[in-house]
Amino acid sequence: AALVAPEELASMLAGEAEIDVSDWRRHTLTAGGLRRSSKVFRWFWRAVRSFDTSEREKLLQFGTGTRRPPVGGFAQLQGFNGGVHKFTLCQSNEPRDSLPRAHACICTVDLPEYSSYETMRRAVHIALTMGSVGFDDAAVAAQDDGDGSERAHDVDGDADSGRAR
């Protein structure tokens, strides 16, 4: 029996270290009326190519729940149920120039219409940046109440012993 090298084991457990944008695009499906020939689809991939490695990882995390591609590339991407579920870009009915919306459990990102590439890139970048903030971080602010301890406050500013309700 052959032993597995440490690098191979790390790859099997954590996924591929590098994001191959061509492979990602090749294994992307479209839904909701979005076509591969549409400007939104083309702009999305132009934006992805313009992102650095860290931004691509955040975008992948935003859309799939993981920052690394699976072993075998994007053809092997798994959804919440554990089966292969390809990354999907879906036409959104949200207002023009809105932020994209992700459904990480089904590896899908909803994209509305955008008035320009720059507007779309900015919206996607905001989403991937905000998408890396923890779920509670956006709704709960930790505040020093003067005695050195921190207490969480809900968005209305009322003291609470735990999380915003």
Which of 71, 69, 75 shows the shortest CA–CA distance to 8?
71
SS3 content of the chain, % helix, strand, coil (to 5): 35, 15, 50
Active site residue 107: no
Distance separating alpha carbons of residues 139 and 155, to the nearest angstrom: 6
What tokens were used for 59?
Answer: 């975008």
Which of 46, 44, 45, 57 shows the shortest CA–CA distance to 18?
57
Of residues 10, 31, 75, 105, which has the active-site annotation?
105
Distance separating alpha carbons of residues 120 and 3, to the nearest angstrom: 47
Q: Residue length, the chain? A: 165
What tokens were used for 20?
Answer: 């191959």
Distance separating alpha carbons of residues 62 and 105, to the nearest angstrom: 10
**Which active-site residues does the annotation give?**
105
